[in-house]
Structure 1
Amino acid sequence: MQAAEIDIVSVTKKYGSATAVDGISLKIPAGAYCCLLGPSGCGKSSTLRMIAGHETISDGDIRLGGKVVTDFPPARRSTAMMFQSYALFPHMDLIDNVAFSLKMKGVEKGERRARALEMLKLMQMEAYATRRPAQLSGGQQQRVALARALITDPEALLLDEPLSALDPFLKIRMRAELKRLQKSLGITFVHVTHSQDEAMALADLIVVMNDGRIEQAAAPREVFERPATAFVARFMGDHNVVSGRVTGHGDGLVTFEVPGGQTLVASGRAMEAGRAVDVGIRTDRVRIGAAESQGFGFTAIVSNIEYQGASVKLSVTGAGIEDFTVITDDAAFFASPVIVGEAIPLSWAAGDASILGALDS
């Protein structure tokens, strides 16, 4: 199987007066595992369906392997799509389910059944070849759906929420299976999900979408450590977002004031005074204890405590700061525990607070 580069060029999708996808451009390298990530209604599934050819494009172009396929039907795109429901035929055994697309292309029965059995072997499902879908577990049905999608030798496999119907333990197992399969086949995978953990575990390229636009497209580590916008920081859940207005700058640091009146400091380029900013502060880098330098911490009131095994999550509030989260090591927490309602000092290092982007004044 060959892999195709996917190039989305200024693509818009409108449904009547509603814009589902708003002029996005994205290049997915050949052989990459790309996850389109975002909340419901952000445009990720519409984008996937436009790549597949199941949705028309209102404006812009899509290129697969350097070829403009904007007006091509799905069958001419060298892609295969695996739907969320799996859409297996209940009256057919697994071989006939997997071989169905070859049957539609007129491939001789013996050849298509032989190729279907090869695909079932790839999915470690050959022992179930004569069973029907109702006799399989959810994970087994997913493997059959994957085999059916891959039998056409696509250059790109498109997956629409493929793990959403599975229980939590099976999801983790199937994540590993998908990653193994993608690496062994070497083709481009484009996977729609609303799960941050799923995208982080699978993707070479995470594309975070919101309101029909791309907020950030980068490797998982960059999205996690350097979110481009306040939306990405909040959606990924690993940063606190504090909003304020610039009061000064110097030595690569920006001083800003939050609505409650206190002054904090973050890493960032020089900005004019009075400009509105969003600042991201890593939840796992916040310490319980007084700040060593002024502006890198505040006094907070503990509003909730959640024990999560290896870590403890504290929800706190401060003057002009709400919905602030601290993730601390469980051993450190229980060595010096705090309680709900207690006032505690919080602090962080200079490198763990950075400007995410300016808001309109």
Structure 2
Amino acid sequence: MSKGADIELIDVTKRYGAALAVESVSLKIPAGTYCCLLGPSGCGKTTTLRMMAGHESITEGDIRLGNTVVTDLPPARRGTAMMFQSYALFPHLDTVDNVAFSLKMKGVDKASRRAKAMEMLKLVHMDHLAERRPAQLSGGQQQRVALARALITDPQVLLLDEPLSALDPFLKIKVRQELKKLQLQLGISFIHVTHSQEEAMALSDLVVVMNGGRIEQAGTPREVFNRPATAFVARFMGDHNVIAGRVTAIGDDDMTFEVPGGASFRAPRAPQSGLEPGEPVEIAVRTDRVTLGAGAMPGCGLTGLVQNIEYHGQKVQVALNAPGVAEFAVQVPETAFFAAPLSVGDAVPLAWTPQDVHILKASPAA
């Protein structure tokens, strides 16, 4: 394989008529990075991927691969390869000819292209099924063939559009591990579109969370999970509670804010936020950092009414609400929950520590 290259998006915008699909996206993905574009349906992640591939034109901005601006280059001349969600295999060709197809289009002789195709099939552990047609392969096997076909062009960047969405849960985990192993082995960047937080966390070196055609946050999985930038990221990544209110007082080390129901909460003071009394503020508290029972420090707790209880095996998810605070959740270890079980309708005191409070920024897509 060729050595990978950095890929950079510079103020990239995509419009479809009056509709804005992607707005002023700037992002640099270093060579050799596993990057996941993560977000809900319609957030612009697939459009962004297709612009990188050259399958969508760019309304404004540029895309650079290494030292080359590829904005106006056709897909075959970019140094990228794309693996489509549908796999798009030719039903009348066997596995080896499907993989070799792009080399055939380039005029490579039959013996050479088939040898190269077998090399790629061996890489994805599919060489033993080289003579089968797509209809004789499982979904996971077809996916590997599509992967081999993308890699045969020797790309500097591989683009993957929801590559695991058609697989069952057990196979997803297996193929996920193989993708990461393959990316490390090849040393090129994989840019992978997904709406699965779990998939992005498991695979990526760089998570790019998109919403409304913009990037809300880009960082390592741990950064994005532990320090979500905005309320959207906190909610989308899951396992965070968001409490919104208005600042009532600013102290030396902390600030106080009030929610519509009248309750007051404390948060560490963040000088860089520039918040003043009367301004809106949102905080995030991880669901696994909230404890049941009394003993909260002033402003670091509430009493909630249990709305729903879900058993998840090693943990139990308890959903509550309180005046001015809707959809508050707590993850309780299984043994702790069943030592003192709760029922829907119970009023429960909740507590957390100031260190577990994270102040959020206003969303760019808001």
For this structure pair, what is the TM-score category when the shorter chain's length is used for normalisation?
A: over 0.9
Given that 2:32 and 2:187 are in contact with CA atoms closer than 8 Å, whether structure 1 keeps it comes out as yes
Shift of 1:286: 0.5
Which of residues 336, 347, 354 is equivalent to 2:351?
347
Q: In structure 1, how many angstroms separate the alpha carbons of the residues matched to 2:363 and 2:8? A: 30
Specify the code of the residue in structure 1 equivalent to 2:28.
Answer: K
Task: Report whether the alignment pairs 1:309 with 2:313.
Answer: yes
Name the aligned partner's letter for residue 168 of structure 2.
D
Q: Which of the residues 295, 298, 301 maps onto 1:297?
A: 301
Aligned to 1:95: 96
Render the CA deviation track for 1:75-119: whole Å, top value 9, x for unaligned.
110000000000001111111000000000000100000000011
Which shifted more, 250-259 or 230-239?
Answer: 250-259
Q: Gaps spanning 5+ residues in structure 2: where? A: none
Using the alignment, how far apart are the partners of 1:8 and 1:26 within structure 2? 5
SS of the residue 2:361 aligns to: strand
Question: Does the aligned pair in 2 maintain the 1:3–1:186 contact within 8 Å?
Answer: yes
CA apart distance, 1:293: 1.2
| 1:106 alignment partner in structure 2 | 107
Corresponding position: 1:255 with 2:245 = no
**Quick one: distance in 2 between partners of 1:127 and 1:359?**
50
Question: After the TM superposition, which parts of structure 1 deviate over 4 Å for at least 4 consecutive aligned residues?
Answer: none
**Aligned-partner residue type, residue 31 of structure 1:** G
In the other structure, the counterpart of 1:210 is: 211
The reply on whether 1:149 has 2:150 as its aligned counterpart is: yes
Matches within 5 A, 1:51-62: 51-62=52-63
Instruction: Provide the C-alpha distance between the structure 2 equivalents of 1:76 and 1:220, rounded to a whole number of angstroms.
Output: 32
Q: Is the 8 A contact 1:300 1:317 kept in 2?
A: yes
1:99 counterpart SS class: helix
The letter of the residue matching 2:351 is: S
CA contact (8 A) 2:251 2:269 kept: no
Summarize the alignment of residues 232-311 of structure 1 with structure 2, pairs less than 5 Å apart: 232-270=233-271, 271-311=275-315
Instruction: Report the Cα offset of residue 185 of structure 1.
Output: 0.5
Distance 2:9 2:269 in 1: 31
Say what the alpha-carbon RMSD is for the aligned residues: 1.1
Partner residue of 2:332 out of 308, 328, 333 = 328
**How far off its partner does 1:235 sit?**
0.6
Q: 1:133 corresponds to which residue? A: 134
Is contact 1:291–1:348 with CA below 8 Å preserved after alignment?
no
Q: Is the 8 A contact 2:306 2:343 kept in 1?
A: yes
How high is the TM-score relative to the length of structure 2? 0.97
Q: Which is further off, 121-130 or 290-299?
A: 290-299
Q: Matched residue of 2:270: which SS? A: coil
* Identity across the alignment (%): 66
- On the 8 A contact 2:96/2:118 being kept in 1, the answer is yes
The one-letter code sitting in structure 1 at the alignment partner of 2:304 is: A
